[in-house]
């Protein structure tokens, strides 16, 4: 095993990991090259937010909304709600209910909305549909079951924005706390062909409520539509956390103080399934521990030391009792027997592109970005 001198990334299950002659990994070196794009002086941050405010307020929807944003009850989306409130913007807030909300995340959402009074809309996916999709992905042996939720969130945001003619969508992802994820640990979130083919090959349930957006639609909305905005309505997408000096721990402290918001333990653990998937399935089946890149981001961003990151990594993800209870809950909810689940865990893993995929379109998108960036 090769380890990085600066962060806690290593070569376990990472096909792209490498270190230079100083012992520094490719993720740290990439951060060094890019970090100045995401770190601002106070004046620069204020200027960035002023430009966003002026743009959004000049493009109000017919109902008076300045923008649209998602809310899961997690750190990033919750902090965005507070930021928009401080900016005196009027967003329409959207939540995707896929059946896995934790009690903590639901309470966090209520606390934020009770204080900000923002309008709120929930998109509910039929549980049998989503359950069958998750069962299909587990049986398929692919690494990124989470593309189902991520895809549905993206599709929901665009759908609601179109329904209400909201010109600006705010995304919750950000570079400073989310960079450096090994590419073989994830898959393209908008790969609808992959989702449909895996569903067809395993559970084959009819998708009536699962929000979808094809790769071609995403390509059009993000890249082509700006040339035809006078002809067709298509919302703009802004990553507002990339326009400020975003610090996860500062965000958590602010949310706790202002809203009595509760932290749920790790990145994306506001979802019960995501918690179990990252804390157990990925580690046991794929030898992937996402705490490594998550904590490494915080190390590079100056929020924790490497020693603190290693100490956190050495903690067990579950106590024996919690693992037993969580496993029992998840399997019951997915209608999987212990025997079926063990078979899934023991079967070999498969690459996503073993099934139908839009990978060739994503490859074209990379070329497009290089030409027109």
Query: pLDDT tens-digit profile of 207-240?
Result: 999 999 887 777 666 665 566 555 567 789 999 9
Report the pLDDT value the prediction gives residue 373, as an integer from 0 to 100: 59
Q: Select the CATH number that applies to the domain covering 40-288+317-372 from these four: 3.40.50, 3.90.1690, 2.60.120, 2.60.40.
A: 3.40.50
Report the pLDDT value the prediction gives residue 226, as an integer from 0 to 100: 60
Query: What would the mean pLDDT of 135-152 be, rounded to a whole number?
Result: 97
Query: pLDDT tens-digit profile of 292-328?
Result: 999 999 999 999 999 999 999 999 998 899 999 999 9
In the chain, where are the structural domains located? 40-288+317-372
Query: pLDDT tens-digit profile of 19-61?
Result: 999 999 999 999 999 999 999 999 999 999 999 999 999 999 9
- C-alpha 200/C-alpha 149 separation (Å) is 18
Report the pLDDT value the prediction gives residue 215, as an integer from 0 to 100: 75
Torsion of the alpha carbons at 268, 74, 304 and 250, rounded to the nearest 10: 170
- C-alpha 40/C-alpha 240 separation (Å) is 13
Residues 99 and 131: beta-carbon distance below 8 Å? yes
pTM of the shown model: 0.93
Query: pLDDT tens-digit profile of 323-360?
Result: 999 999 999 999 999 999 999 999 999 999 999 999 88
Query: What would the mean pLDDT of 62-72 be, rounded to a whole number?
Result: 97
Tell me: pLDDT of 78 over 80. Answer: yes
- C-alpha 186/C-alpha 181 separation (Å) is 8
Tell me: pLDDT of 187 over 60. Answer: yes
């Amino acid at each position: 095993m090769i380890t990085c001198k600066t962060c806690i990334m290593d070569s376990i299950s990472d096909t792209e990991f490498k270190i230079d002659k100083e012992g520094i990994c490719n993720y740290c070196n990439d951060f060094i090259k890019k970090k100045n794009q995401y770190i601002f002086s106070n004046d620069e941050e204020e200027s960035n937010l002023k430009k966003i405010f002026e743009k959004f307020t000049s493009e109000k929807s017919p109902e008076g909304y300045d923008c649209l944003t998602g809310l899961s009850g997690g750190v990033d989306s919750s902090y965005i709600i507070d930021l928009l409130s401080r900016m005196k913007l009027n967003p329409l807030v959207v939540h995707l209910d896929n059946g896995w909300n934790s009690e903590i995340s639901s309470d966090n959402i209520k606390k934020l909305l009770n204080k900000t009074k923002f309008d709120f809309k929930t998109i509910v996916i039929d549980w049998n549909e989503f359950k069958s999709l998750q069962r299909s992905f587990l049986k398929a042996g692919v690494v990124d079951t989470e593309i189902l939720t991520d895809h549905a969130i993206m599709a929901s945001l665009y759908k609601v924005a179109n329904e209400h003619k909201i010109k600006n969508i705010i995304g919750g992802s950000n570079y400073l706390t989310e960079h450096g994820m090994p590419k073989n640990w994830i898959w393209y979130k908008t790969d609808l062909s992959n989702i449909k083919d895996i569903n067809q090959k395993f559970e084959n349930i009819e998708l009536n409520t699962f929000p979808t957006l094809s790769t071609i639609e995403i390509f059009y909305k993000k890249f082509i539509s700006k040339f035809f905005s006078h002809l067709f309505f298509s919302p703009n997408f802004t990553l507002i956390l990339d326009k400020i000096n975003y610090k996860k721990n500062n965000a958590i402290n602010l949310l706790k103080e202002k809203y009595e918001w509760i932290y749920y333990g790790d990145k994306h653990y506001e979802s019960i399934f995501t918690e179990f998937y990252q804390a157990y399935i990925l580690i046991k089946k794929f030898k992937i521990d996402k705490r490594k890149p998550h904590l490494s981001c915080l190390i590079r961003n100056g929020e924790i030391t490497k020693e603190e990151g290693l100490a956190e990594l050495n903690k067990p993800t579950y106590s024996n009792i919690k693992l037993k209870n969580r496993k029992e809950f998840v399997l019951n909810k997915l209608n999987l027997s212990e025997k079926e689940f063990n078979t899934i865990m023991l079967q070999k893993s498969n690459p996503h592109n073993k099934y139908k995929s839009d990978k060739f379109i994503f490859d074209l998108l990379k070329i497009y970005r290089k030409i027109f960036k």
